[in-house]
Amino acid sequence: MHFAGVDIGSTMTKAVIVDGHGAMMASVIGPTGAEHRHLALAVMDETIKKADLSFEQLDFIVATGYGRINVPFADKQITEITCHSRSVRALFPTARIIIDIGGQDSKGIKLDAQGKVTNFVMNDKCAAGTGRFLEVIAETLGIKLTEMGELSLKAKDFVRISNTCTVFAEHEVTSRLTEGATIPEIVAGLHEAFAGRVVNMVRSLGIEKDVVVTGGGAMNIGLIKAVEEKVGFRVLVPQEPLLTGALGAALMGKDLLARGVTSERKRRLEGVTFFK
């Protein structure tokens, strides 16, 4: 049996296919554009080809992410909170806190001993504490977003960034450069400030081991280091932190089918051809 998950995030769209044992067979990541439906179809089509399957061989498809309602071929739409917790529970059974750092929002999720969600917090009103914050500052500094992690590790100290607003932080960074601060010191300071905002948001849930960091922010080694300094211990990072939501969606599809929830996809799409 085969199950697929599609996660339409604010900046990236991800798709995962797992087999009947929950093992990942194929995955694809692509940038999220304005046409969510077309992109979801394209990413799913590519994933199906990588898995050497056909669309008809997928037993259940779950869509998640903020654009999940724009996946017409999905059997069910499930929130990213539920899907993230499902995949993290499979990858790290000891996890108690999930910190998900995305492009346009950041989330904290509390799990109980059985891996069930007991509470969550979210920042989706301000760019501070999201990937967009670092992206804007990277542009200001004239560096690539992907370079920030390694750059910050070169700093012997960090420059404190006090502004929480992205616009004011840009001006503050420019001022620090004028004062003679190095780019690695500024980036390290940005990571320290960023980690402080995210960890403070999650503290309301009660931070305890193990903490798992997911999303694009988890790919930034400097940010992970700053988060670890704030929580006081090492955190866990999935091998593919961008795929957490999509993997969880695929696993949720497997769970639903096992509970007797049937796919109505063929009936809804009768006469409609999405894939060659």
Q: What does the alpha-carbon distance between residue 212 and residue 169 come to, in Å, rounded to a whole number? A: 28
Do residues 18 and 142 both lie within one domain? Answer: no
Question: CA neighbours within 13 Å on the CB side: how many for 117?
Answer: 18
Do residues 102 and 218 both lie within one domain? Answer: yes
Do residues 231 and 126 both lie within one domain? Answer: yes
Question: Under DSSP, is residue 145 helix (H, G, I), strand (E, B) or coil?
Answer: helix
Do residues 169 and 264 both lie within one domain? Answer: no
pLDDT digits (tens, 9 = 90+) for 98-149: 999 987 788 999 999 999 999 999 986 666 667 788 888 888 888 998 899 9
Q: What does the alpha-carbon distance between residue 87 and residue 65 come to, in Å, rounded to a whole number? A: 14
Task: Report which residue type is found at 209.
Answer: K
Do residues 248 and 152 both lie within one domain? Answer: no
Give residue 252's domain range: 2-82+243-268
Model confidence at 179, pLDDT cuts 50, 70, 90, reads confident
Do residues 68 and 187 both lie within one domain? Answer: no
pLDDT at 67: 86
Do residues 104 and 215 both lie within one domain? Answer: yes
Do residues 76 and 98 both lie within one domain? Answer: no
- Quote the pTM value: 0.88
Q: Please indicate, yes or no, if residue 87 is contained in any of the structural domains.
A: no
Helix (H) or strand (E) holding 211: strand 211-214
Q: Please indicate, yes or no, if residue 107 is contained in any of the structural domains.
A: yes
Average pLDDT of 208-230? 94
pLDDT at 276: 42
Q: Please indicate, yes or no, if residue 88 is contained in any of the structural domains.
A: no
Q: What does the alpha-carbon distance between residue 70 and residue 90 come to, in Å, rounded to a whole number? A: 27
Q: Please indicate, yes or no, if residue 208 is contained in any of the structural domains.
A: yes
Do residues 15 and 139 both lie within one domain? Answer: no
Q: What is the pairing mode between strands 12-19 and 24-31?
A: antiparallel
Provide the domain count of the chain: 2
Do residues 105 and 170 both lie within one domain? Answer: yes
Q: Is the pLDDT of residue 256 over 50?
A: yes
Do residues 233 and 247 both lie within one domain? Answer: no
Q: What does the alpha-carbon distance between residue 151 and residue 102 come to, in Å, rounded to a whole number? A: 21
- What is the secondary structure of 22-61 as a DSSP string? S-EEEEEEEE--S-HHHHHHHHHHHHHHHTT--GGG-SEE
Do residues 78 and 49 both lie within one domain? Answer: yes
Q: What does the alpha-carbon distance between residue 120 and residue 144 come to, in Å, rounded to a whole number? A: 31
Model confidence at 271, pLDDT cuts 50, 70, 90, reads low
Instruction: Give the tokens for residue 49.
Output: 């080809």
Q: What is the CATH number of the domain that holds 50?
A: 3.30.420.40
Model confidence at 37, pLDDT cuts 50, 70, 90, reads low
First to last CA, the chain: 21
Q: Please indicate, yes or no, if residue 276 is contained in any of the structural domains.
A: no
**What φ, ψ does residue 43 adopt, rounded to 5°?**
-65, -40
Give the C-alpha distances (Å, rounded to integers) separating 214 from 30, 41, 102, 114, 203.
17, 24, 8, 20, 17
Question: Under DSSP, is residue 196 helix (H, G, I), strand (E, B) or coil?
Answer: helix
